[in-house]
């Protein structure tokens, strides 16, 4: 079917939006897919759609902030598929407000999902990858983790943390043949961005040289590249998919 035939990919937050687009793209290249998502019904429904690509797919309810939940899901996926080759840490949330009005619980929740979740999933999967001396990990960061954004202190900090974690993981795992990179989307047309005000959307477009919102498929294409054989000499890098915002 494709150059990822026989490989297995875990995609967190894979039930919809960018995560689902990534899962579809990897499945189209032949990879079997395990969708980890906090919403069990949507995870299973998305896995059924992925299976229509002709690959095996599994949908599991996972709370990426909970170590026991992550470890149990990784164990289940390994029992189901027998191996794990790719991890895409995509699960993420926002709780926007200006810093002086931001509640501590909103800071904690965003950091827990967006950063702790990447740490826990990476730790659980990398054990197997390092033993196999092969694997690809792609973390979904954000352009605001590179340049900041008013009203998103928690989100910006979490994504900046993801970038730092990506670079450190790449250094630690390189000798074991495990490559770790990040993709940093700009404003992408998803349910998350549909919820922002027209004023905020116009502001985002004014900062984007290409003058449009990105598509989930734009992000999926970059992730797919980093998971394939064509990126075999790339690790520890951040690929912006932002229409030029971070120029």
Task: Provide the domain count of the chain.
Answer: 1
7 three-state secondary structure = coil
Active site residue 128: no
Write the DSSP assignment of 108-121 as a string of letters. HHHHIIIIIHHHHH
Q: What is the mean pLDDT of each run of 10 residues along the chain (247 residues)?
A: 93 98 98 98 98 96 98 98 98 96 98 98 98 98 95 97 98 98 96 74 89 96 98 98 95
* Structural domain of 47: 8-237
In a domain, 242, yes or no: no
Could you tell me the sign of the dihedral formed by the alpha carbons of 9, 12, 16, 18, in that order? Answer: negative
Q: What is the pLDDT of residue 1?
A: 64
CATH number of domain containing 146: 3.40.50.720
Residues in the chain: 247
In a domain, 176, yes or no: yes
In a domain, 90, yes or no: yes
In a domain, 246, yes or no: no
In a domain, 2, yes or no: no
Q: CA dist 171 to 70, 73, 74, 88, 237, Å?
A: 23, 26, 23, 18, 11
Q: Which of the residues 155, 158, 213, 220 is marked catalytic?
A: 155
Q: What is the pLDDT of residue 164?
A: 98
């Amino acid at each position: 079917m494709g150059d990822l035939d026989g490989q297995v990919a875990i995609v967190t937050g894979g039930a919809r939006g960018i995560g689902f687009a990534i899962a579809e793209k990897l499945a189209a290249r032949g990879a079997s897919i395990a969708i980890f998502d906090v919403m069990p019904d949507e995870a299973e429904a998305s896995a059924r759609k992925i299976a229509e690509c002709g690959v095996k797919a599994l949908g599991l309810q996972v709370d990426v902030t909970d170590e026991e939940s992550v470890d149990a899901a990784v164990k289940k996926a390994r029992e189901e598929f027998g191996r794990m080759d790719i991890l895409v840490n995509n699960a993420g949330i926002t709780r926007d407000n200006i810093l002086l009005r931001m509640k501590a619980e909103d800071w904690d929740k965003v950091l827990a999902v967006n950063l702790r979740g990447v740490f826990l999933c990476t730790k659980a999967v990398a054990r197997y990858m390092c033993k196999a001396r092969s694997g690809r990990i792609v973390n979904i960061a954000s352009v605001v983790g590179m340049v900041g954004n008013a009203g998103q202190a928690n989100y910006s900090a979490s994504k900046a943390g993801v970038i730092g974690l990506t670079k450190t993981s790449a250094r630690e795992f390189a000798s074991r043949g495990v490559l770790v990179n990040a993709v940093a989307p700009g404003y992408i047309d998803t349910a998350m961005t549909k919820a922002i005000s027209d004023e905020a959307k116009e502001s985002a477009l004014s900062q984007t040289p290409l003058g449009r919102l990105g598509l989930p498929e734009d992000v999926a294409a970059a992730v797919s590249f980093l998971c394939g054989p064509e990126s075999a000499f790339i690790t520890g890098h951040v690929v912006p998919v932002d229409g030029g915002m971070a120029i």
